[in-house]
Homo-oligomer: A and B are copies of this chain.
């Protein structure tokens, strides 16, 4: 009998992060994560293939936020305006109340090469997905790749700034600034 657990993935993710941060990633098992919120190991594995993936729950929604931004940009918007719109849409995925969670998650990831690899690859996949969406708008392959990877550069650097201790600005505001700095860095001085 499979009982549907409302919000189980989110509860498991929250519990996993608390345990990883308190005890260490290596020292925490999937069973312990499940038990800490009154769920079974079986429920855990219904939602996640392994404990590493708990930290990447929500990746698909982030991809979809970026894609929605690409799709909703005006048809004649140049590629960098399209990715700016996608960055803004994705920023809405990280409201202020999520900042502490994201900071804790990053601290766990920074301590484990296997998690860092997974995180780096997440950004690569995001870049490739955005590039695909740009091509679907008629952008040539090279330009699509350059624009998509530039978007990930801006996203990665902005996100790292957003979760810093003491940072109060929204992710969208930081992204706007970082994107402006990227374009200025690449524009020849007059």
Q: Is the CB of B142 within 8 A of A146?
A: no
Q: Which of B116, B117, B142, B186 contacts A186 (CB 8 A)?
A: B186
Q: Is the CB of B187 within 8 A of A187?
A: yes
A124 to B109, CA, bound (A): 14
Question: For A15, what are the chain B residues with a Cβ–Cβ distance below 8 Å?
Answer: none
Which B residue sits closest to A116, measured CB to CB?
B121
Q: How many residues from A make CB contacts under 8 Å with B? A: 28
**Separation in Å of the A76 CB from the closest CB of chain B?**
13
Listed residue (A113, A116, A149, A183) with the most chain B CB atoms within 10 angstroms of its CB: A149
Provide the A112-154 mask, 1 if CB < 8 A to any CB of B, else 0.
0100111011011000000000000000001101110110010
Question: For A37, what are the chain B residues with a Cβ–Cβ distance below 8 Å?
Answer: none
Question: For A143, what are the chain B residues with a Cβ–Cβ distance below 8 Å?
Answer: 181, 185
Q: Is the CB of B157 within 8 A of A153?
A: no
Q: Is A182 an interface residue (CB 8 A)?
A: yes
**Separation in Å of the A154 CB from the closest CB of chain B?**
8
**Separation in Å of the A177 CB from the closest CB of chain B?**
9
The 9 A-B pairs at the shortest CB distance, nearest first, are namely: A186-B186, A117-B117, A149-B153, A120-B120, A117-B121, A120-B121, A120-B124, A187-B187, A183-B186
